Structure 1
Amino acid sequence: MDGDLGDFLRSRRARIQPEEVGLPSYGRRRVPGLRREEVAQLAGVSVDYYIRLEQGRGPGDPSRTKSGGVSDAVLDAIARVLRLDETEHAYLHAVARPRRQSERPAAPRVRQGVQLLLDSMDRTPAVVLDRRMTVMAWNALADAVFGYSGTAAKARSIPRHVLLDPVAHDLYPEWQAVAAQCVAHLRMLAGHHQEDRQLTSLVGELSLKSEDFRRLWADHQVRECAYGVKRIRHPVAGLLTFPYETLTVPGDGDQTLLVYTQERGSETEERLALLGSWATTGA
């Protein structure tokens, strides 16, 4: 994960044209976007300070905190200049000031009460994810849709499934969009948990095994998949359209409840009911 801060800053200043922030372009530029000197000027910091920050070196500047890290004020100013959205802004803070602590692994178990909650959702597929996007628990309908029973944890890793499993291309009609979203969300998680060796190992594995991952990771997109719509082409039920919502599990910020809903009276609701009946009877 070394170099993430510099690569992220370079990718973000490359997407902003000087005219957008009131600066003259002075003709054709060798590289697109803002120069480092221009970012420093607009953020109100010294050029040397910004260069050190982008190069990942300790910035010798009074604007840093007592602990030696970059101050909130400087990061906020840079985020403003680079026009970062809320998720990118939080990511900048995370990669600029990584936590220096022993790794605390994600909780190995899902509480019984959370599993009971999952099981009570008999009309809605729902799962619990850890901070590495691995499915830890699920209800019967989610199992009918995705087939988690009898699979090892590694096989339930959403990034591995999307980027490495050929079946994913058939399962997701909009695979390209799903893959881009998955990688952007993984980058966000990796930035916030740089001390997590298993998460770092996952990124390394995907980098070695997937050309698509390498291409998407190099884009430095950062996105939180809090809600949206996902389409799934199930081999038995056919095309299913799921609006989804994610909620942090109370008492454990490393676990996320992911719920796939469906509109009343929709084809997805009807097909899902048939799929649930089929799975229950073992047909």
Structure 2
Amino acid sequence: MSENALGDFLRARRSGLRPEDVGMASYGVRRVAGLRREEVAVLAGVNADYYTRLEQGRERHPSAQVLDALGRALHLDADALAHAYRLAGTAPADRPAPRRDAVSPSLRQLMDGYPNTPAFVINGTLDILARNALADALYSPFDPADNLARMTFLDPAGRHFFVRWEWSAQAVVANLRQTAGLDPDNPRLRELVETLTDQSPEFAALWQAHTVRGKTREAKQLDHPDVGPLTLTYQAFDVRDAPGQQLVIYHAEPASPSAQALSLLAPLNATRRQPTRPQHP
């Protein structure tokens, strides 16, 4: 690997941009492709000599603010900017990723491709954005099955459905606290916390404990009114093209009582959802 990796990266990205790409007028004879160093410095609002030292490797540790400015000037996407931070050995500035609650059609198709296991998508505030048929059946005791925190603390079904209710409640609050640190100005989080604090003393007490934790892989112990006890493990995957979304997939041990109970859920739920035919005399 080059000893001047950051400089090589900046030079390559500069050469890939034309003045018209960044809204600048082109002037004079250009001996090399792309923008001039002086033009990048102007776009980023940094000293031209300082930028030259960056490319030449005489300055190797720009601040996060300088890297952000260069990222805007060079039209770096999120992956390219993160790469520049790594090359510079600089910690990225804390910034919330843009929120997006729409679940892509391709992800919905992927979830539907798991007919034998519950799969659903949540955001940082634990809103359930999409779910497959078996997840729909799993959460059928809740009305509505819209947000895991609300379902845990405010829906009467939660106390029975989550066998280890106290543990589930602590986990939910710790997840929300993590979101509060990553995205403190999230209006949906503020609204949810206010509602839960007003309506649930248990939530209010746990929220004041300031416990922070992301999703773990500990087994879920559930009690479904239609099929009885369920012990499920799960995996949570970040959705790469939608920052803040997670795909959660539950899994039962093959040939276990929980697996047999899961296999009964989908047809039960489908039967329940069939419209009732009118009775004619």
When normalised by structure 1's length, the TM-score is: 0.60
Q: Distance in 1 between matches of 2:175 and 2:64?
A: 31
Match of 2:176 in 1: 186
One-letter amino acid matched to 1:230: K
Which SS does the other structure have where 1:253 is aligned? coil
Query: Does residue 251 of structure 1 match 2:233?
Result: no
Q: Is 1:147 aligned to 2:124, yes or no?
A: no
* 2:212 match: 222
Take 1:205 and 1:144, find their aligned partners in 2: how far apart are those partners?
A: 27
Q: Residue 200 in 1 paired to residue 190 in 2? A: yes
> What per-residue deviation string (whole Å, max 9, x for no partner) do you get for residues 256-277 of structure 1?
0011101111000011112223
Match of 1:123 in 2: 116
The alpha carbon displacement at 1:254 in A equals 1.4
Distance 1:150 1:202, change over 3 A: closer
In the alignment, does 2:272 pair up with 1:279?
no
SS in 2 for 1:156: coil
SS in 2 for 1:239: strand
Q: Is the 8 A contact 1:183 1:216 kept in 2?
A: yes
Report the equivalent of 1:108: 101
Distance 1:265 1:148, change over 3 A: same
Q: CA deviation at 1:148?
A: 8.7
TM-score by length of 2: 0.61
Q: Secondary structure at the match of 2:163?
A: coil
Which one-letter code corresponds to 1:195 in the other structure?
D
Unaligned runs of 5+ in 1: 1-64, 68-92
Corresponding position: 1:138 with 2:138: no
Aligned residues of 1:143 and 1:149 also touching (Cα < 8 A): no
Provide structure 2 residue ranges, at least 5 long, that are not aligned to the other structure. 1-62, 66-90, 275-281
Q: Give the letter for the 1:134 counterpart.
A: D
| RMSD (CA atoms) | 2.6
Q: Deviations over 1:69-95 (max 9, x none)?
A: xxxxxxxxxxxxxxxxxxxxxxxx99x
Following superposition, the deviation at residue 281 of structure 1 comes to: 4.4
Q: 166, 176, 183: which one pairs with 2:166?
A: 176
CA spacing shift, 1:230–1:240, aligned 2, 3 Å: same
Looking at structure 1, the residues matched to 193 and 229 of structure 2 have their Cα atoms a distance apart, in angstroms, of: 31
Pick one of 199, 205, 209 that aligns with 1:209.
199
Deviation sequence 1:118-170 (CA, Å, 0-9, x none): 1010010010001211001000001111029984xxx5111111111221001
Question: What is the 5 A alignment of 1:8-47?
Answer: none
Partner of 1:269: 259
Conserved 8 A contact 2:100-2:243: no
Matched letter for residue 213 of structure 1: F
Partner residue, 2:250 = 260
- Name which one, 1 or 2, has greater alpha-carbon Rg: 2
Q: Which residue of 1 is the match for residue 152 of structure 2?
A: 162
For residue 103 of structure 2, give the secondary structure of its aligned residue in structure 1: coil
Task: State how far apart, in whole Å, the 2-side matches of 1:224 and 1:149 are.
Answer: 24
**Superposed displacement of residue 66, structure 1:** 8.8
Q: String of CA shifts for 1:237-271, please: whole Å, max 9, x gaps.
A: 10011101100112112110011101111000011
1:240 aligns with 2:240: no
Q: Distance in 1 between matches of 2:103 and 2:237?
A: 14
